[in-house]
Structure 1
Amino acid sequence: MRLEIADLSSLREHRENGLDLRNAVLVRLDLTDPGDDALLRTSLDGALFLGCTLRPESQRRAHAAGALLFPAVPGLPYEVYRSHLYTPEELFEDFDPDHPETYALTPDARIYQHTREQGYPPDPLHALAERLHDHGISEALSDILTGMPIAVMGGHALTRDSDGYRSAVELGVLLGQAGFTVLTGGGPGAMEAVPLGVRLADMSGVDDVVKVLSAAPKFASGTTVDAAEIGRWLAAGLAVDLPTSSLPRTIGLPTWFYGHEPPNPFCELHAKYFENSVREEGLLTVATGGIIYTPGSAGTVQEVFQDYTQNHYGSVGPAAPMVFLGERFWTEEVPAAPLVRKLAKGRPAEQWILVTDDATEAVSFLESYTSVQ
């Protein structure tokens, strides 16, 4: 695997240790200062420069050595060659909770507006820039994940004042107490209730939190962006004081493809993508500890069968647990669970399918899987 260097201090340390830059990946570094330019006076065979600024002579030497130089793309509201995930603070920069309409000024809203202006599919320049961004996000997500993360899938429709939302918070509490790193789609509804529970650690403060959130129980509806309505939803979430940990326990994977759905403020980090298909496949792939499916609509059902396909063919590793939380929903209203069980008959995936109404049983099932891996 190529060594990636995204800051000058790491590059200096690398060179001080007597190491060259063959096949290294250098990301968004300004190397025009004479001292920094001197760091390039070594073997550059096969090196990859992403959005770096080099002196003309160093550019010529890099080309002669077979290195590839990808230039910065001007005029974009996002970093093309991104090497780290987003924090809520970064996505919601310039948001003023006292003026909800200022959500329109945030990087999250401005990037979505940019994608709308490009149309779908975007022209080749913007398509390439978005793919390079998404590749960087996938790399950053892979770098930060440890152990066997689990994912919780579910729809965005749960309102913050509903019984279903509270149940999703309780599920998050149980997963947090079990020590799991929890991934969700990063949006509203169940996708924010579960990480909220993970970070609360217990249910003792839930009533106070729900009272704060009741000021804006749901985000803007439909497929258009109402900045003020989203801003009120966001302001209520940001008013909740939550503990942080040294390692992120909650990571969202939202997408600007569904940019009318804002990322939630309760995930500690967001791996936000442009391409929804890359985001969905990536989420299912990195959830090596299994997936819990709470009731959802078409998107959740799509993820069920996309996940099962991975398990059926073993394309990304051993079959991981599929937990259908909500027996009546998954066997009668949307009977995906019986079909998955039928497809899994006699295969390794069969033993790791559970249909239940009991969140405690669901978490214990996931723990039993991680204990034998």
Structure 2
Amino acid sequence: MRRSSGPVIEVESLADFDRRIMRARSLAGWHLQSVDVSQRSAELAQVPVAGALFLGCTFAEGDEESVRARGGIVFPTIPDVPLDTYRGRLYTAGDLYDTAAYPDSLDARVYGWSQQPENTDTTLARALHDHAMDDALGEWVQGRSLVGVMGGHALARNTPAYAGAARLGQLLGARHTVATGGGPGAMEAANLGAWLAGTPEADLDAALALLGRVPDFRPDVGAWVGAAFAVRERWPAGGESLGIPTWHYGHEPPNAFPTAIAKYFRNATREAILLEICRSGIVFLPGAAGTVQEIFQDACENYYADADSVAPMVLVGVDHWTRELPAWPLLQALAAEREMGEHVHLVDSLDEAAAIIG
């Protein structure tokens, strides 16, 4: 259990409930989130519940009515929703890929459900779920130095660019917590590198060779993610990293290498949060429209930030960002004579990028 600011007490597991109830005189201010209290009828009956909030909790027969009658507020589970809308913790890869066959997995089931015509129940369920992700992510990032790695989703595993992104993730992961959009391509590569942070480069080379046998998630997501889990099994002591994918791009499966996954329905929310939490800087690898959008969304935050809040922006690929997609000249023009000016960088080397982040 954790106490947030003010009188609210968030209870997110039965163990939390059991520890707290032993000395509780009232449940006023408690927010119970997806807790199964069906075996705690006696405990619920012995204390006042007025002012308590029960979000998606499971009760024994008659207890929900009793709680309501005594002033507790109960938000029931929304029917026919394949996920916990009041979830109190981030996902793991095992949570999303909970079956061997990808079409039967939680990730695929939720994406399929999200494609149905919207109604009040579905929009409410998505909003409640994304709010729960906000809450869980806000707790998870505390005390961590997060560095973002942004880049294209289409990068195949058997390419030099993928290997470079993985090496960058390995370098950054030795001193920081790597955060990505949680999808395939460069995002997966950076999370892979963070998983193998602190291991010899030879281990990364071996992992890349294993993954290269299934270079893309098309046409078989199951084989693609299966190769990732094989790497995880061979090197089980993975370094931590974060992925923030979205079901908005459900055709792009989440990669299996982040140790924590905050998956959202709303892509705009997910993108803004990813940029916001990377307070130790962001490295932008060569990409297309999505990466360009992220560059200038981050630039806007830094443009208006005070000196203590500006985070480094490192663009990798001089030719890419000056000739193919000339974002660098505009970024330089924006940064001129602003606090962010000394914090924007253009390099050709991944080692240079890692050194700038520090």
Taking structure 2 as the reference length, the TM-score comes to 0.90
Q: Which residue of 1 is the match for residue 43 of structure 2?
A: 36
Is the contact made by 1:157 and 1:188 (CA closer than 8 Å) also made in structure 2? yes
Cα separation, 2, equivalents of 1:125 and 1:107:
19
Q: Which residue of 2 is the match for residue 109 of structure 1?
A: 108
Q: Which residue of 2 is the match for residue 13 of structure 1?
A: 19
Q: CA deviation at 1:171?
A: 0.5
**What is the one-letter code of the residue matched to 2:155?**
L
Corresponding residue to 2:168 among 163, 171, 179: 171
**What is the one-letter code of the residue matched to 2:184?**
P
Q: Which residue of 2 is the match for residue 125 of structure 1?
A: 121
Is the contact made by 1:31 and 1:55 (CA closer than 8 Å) also made in structure 2? no
Corresponding residue to 1:184 among 180, 184, 189: 180
**Alignment CA distance shift 1:334-1:48 (3 Å):** same
Corresponding residue to 1:69 among 59, 67, 74: 74
Is the contact made by 2:34 and 2:88 (CA closer than 8 Å) also made in structure 1? no
Cα separation, 1, equivalents of 2:191 and 2:296:
24
Is the contact made by 1:37 and 1:55 (CA closer than 8 Å) also made in structure 2? no
Q: CA deviation at 1:244?
A: 2.6
Corresponding residue to 1:259 among 247, 250, 253: 250
Corresponding residue to 2:201 among 200, 203, 210: 203
Q: How much is the aligned-residue C-alpha RMSD, in angstroms?
A: 2.0
Is the contact made by 2:147 and 2:281 (CA closer than 8 Å) also made in structure 1? yes
Q: CA deviation at 1:158?
A: 0.9
Cα separation, 2, equivalents of 1:20 and 1:321:
48
Q: CA deviation at 1:175?
A: 0.7
Is the contact made by 1:250 and 1:268 (CA closer than 8 Å) also made in structure 2? yes
Cα separation, 2, equivalents of 1:200 and 1:234:
17
Match of 1:349, SS state, is helix
**Alignment CA distance shift 1:358-1:10 (3 Å):** same
Q: Does 1:55 align with 2:64?
A: yes
Cα separation, 2, equivalents of 1:259 and 1:15:
41
Deviations for 1:257-277, whole angstroms, at most 9, x for unmatched residues? 101101111122211111111
Query: Which structure 2 residues correspond to residues 77-96 of structure 1 after superposition, within 5 A?
Result: 77-95=82-100
Q: Which residue of 2 is the match for residue 351 of structure 1?
A: 342
Q: Which residue of 1 is the match for residue 236 of structure 2?
A: 243
Cα separation, 2, equivalents of 1:307 and 1:324:
12
**Alignment CA distance shift 1:235-1:9 (3 Å):** closer
Q: CA deviation at 1:236?
A: 1.8
Corresponding residue to 1:151 among 148, 154, 161: 148
Is the contact made by 2:48 and 2:70 (CA closer than 8 Å) also made in structure 1? no
Cα separation, 2, equivalents of 1:138 and 1:164:
32
Taking structure 1 as the reference length, the TM-score comes to 0.86
Is the contact made by 1:44 and 1:62 (CA closer than 8 Å) also made in structure 2? yes
Cα separation, 1, equivalents of 2:254 and 2:263:
9
Q: Which residue of 1 is the match for residue 212 of structure 2?
A: 214
Match of 1:343, SS state, is helix
Q: Point out where structure 1 has 5 or more consecutive residues left out of the alignment.
A: 96-101, 221-225, 368-373
Is the contact made by 1:73 and 1:129 (CA closer than 8 Å) also made in structure 2? yes
Q: CA deviation at 1:17?
A: 3.4
Q: CA deviation at 1:232?
A: 1.8
Deviates more, 1:292-301 or 1:196-205: 196-205
Match of 2:201, SS state, is coil
Is the contact made by 2:165 and 2:186 (CA closer than 8 Å) also made in structure 1? yes
Cα separation, 1, equivalents of 2:25 and 2:168:
48
Cα separation, 1, equivalents of 2:34 and 2:43:
13
Match of 2:79, SS state, is coil
Q: CA deviation at 1:43?
A: 5.9
**Alignment CA distance shift 1:209-1:31 (3 Å):** closer
Is the contact made by 1:308 and 1:340 (CA closer than 8 Å) also made in structure 2? yes
Match of 1:183, SS state, is strand
Q: Which residue of 2 is the match for residue 134 of structure 1?
A: 130
Deviates more, 1:25-34 or 1:79-88: 25-34
Identical residues among aligned pairs (%): 39
Q: How many residues align?
A: 342
Is the contact made by 1:187 and 1:264 (CA closer than 8 Å) also made in structure 2? yes
**What is the one-letter code of the residue matched to 1:131?**
A
Corresponding residue to 1:300 among 268, 286, 291: 291
**Alignment CA distance shift 1:105-1:43 (3 Å):** closer
